[in-house]
Amino acid sequence: MQNRQWKLISRPVGLVKRSDFEFVATPVGEPGPGEVLVKVQYISLDPAMRGWLNDSPSYIPPVGLGEVMRAGGIGAVVASNAPSLAVGDTVTGLTGVQEYAIFNAGAINTLLMMKVDPQLAPLPRYLGALGLTGISAYFGLLDICAPKQGETVVVSGAAGAVGSVAGQIAKIKGCRVVGIAGGPEKCRYLVDELGFDAAIDYKNEDVRAGLEKHCPRGVDVYFDNVGGDILDLVLEQIARNARISICGAISQYNNLETVQGPKNYLSLLLNHARMEGFVVFDYAARTGEALKDLRGWVAEGKIKPREDVVEGIDTFPETLNKLFTGENFGKLVIKVAAA
């Protein structure tokens, strides 16, 4: 049995290219003691993956040259040498971009590996609103920003996986929510389907004017997925005691130049405001708390999850780039086996 894998062979400059990887088939391994073999069904595409390709220190080591590309995923246990998992169980974890993954079952019930019930939700949702994506939105908004009822919350990358959940959680908390997204279709979706109070189409509208119009009392909370110019425009319009959650900076990840720092950061001084960053792994110990709320909100229809499924593991490099060109809509995943 063969395992098709995407391995990194050179460090990308800007958007990834197919030639930065090799797509190889190797024999499927045997799970050792305490391990399970998982047939990967869906792979999660996340902006952070671009950072893992750079040879620079970060919260986890970069993907090494010659290594299988790191990624989250979900699949079924097809062989088990661990008492805690049986053949047929469905698990999420860092599968990598490959058809088969071997996990040490000792990591079960951590952020790195969760057993989930495939009957309760479509599998891709466990990579999205009911997975690390939802958990990121949950803590990045609630723990970092503590939004209060009636406050104005702005979310960038608002039609993306994390942003769309963060905005919906802010609505649940009684906030006025303004999304920033690219294109009229995404903006309509935010307002008409997700119940955002307003949306600003950064590709076709003046973002400064949009913020002035939709945030007349200033921005109390900003959940930032994009960085760059939009972060600076929001900094111009923060309210006193504003909180900014730095979840990501997708506009900067493929930069050929240095990262663009927020030139308006002194607005933090003028407004007694703060900017705080996080990664989801910071909250590993509190996963249960988030998932309990997220499951409830999805069940009640207060969070409407959306997944954007691309078929075929062979599409990996181009599919990853969709995150950075703004082509995805909701949680982007690859369905490993094409239809």
* Binding-site ranges for its own copies (CB under 8 A): 58-59, 227, 232, 246-249, 252, 258-279, 282
Residue placing its CB nearer to its own copies in the complex, 77 or 250: 250
Residue placing its CB nearer to its own copies in the complex, 262 or 305: 262
- Min dist CB 58 to its own copies, Å, is 6
Bridge partner list, 103: 36
Residue placing its CB nearer to its own copies in the complex, 205 or 236: 236
- Min dist CB 212 to its own copies, Å, is 13
Residue placing its CB nearer to its own copies in the complex, 81 or 271: 271
CB crowding 186-205: b at 16 or more within 10 Å, else e: bbebbeeebebbbbbbbeee
Q: E strand or H helix at 241, and its extent?
A: strand 238-246
Residue placing its CB nearer to its own copies in the complex, 120 or 270: 270
- Is the CB of residue 136 less than 8 Å from the CB of residue 162? yes
Nearest CA-CA partner of 100 in 44, 31, 53:
31
- Min dist CB 309 to its own copies, Å, is 28
- Min dist CB 165 to its own copies, Å, is 18
- Min dist CB 281 to its own copies, Å, is 9
Nearest CA-CA partner of 320 in 16, 10, 8:
16
- Min dist CB 273 to its own copies, Å, is 6
Residue placing its CB nearer to its own copies in the complex, 39 or 70: 70
Q: What secondary structure does DSSP assign to 107-161, as a single string?
A: GTTBTTEEEE-TTTS-GGGGGTTTSHHHHHHHHHHHHHH---TT-EEEEESTTBH
Which single residue is written with the structure tokens 């479509």?
122
Return the number of other C-beta atoms located less than 10 Å from residue 67's C-beta.
14
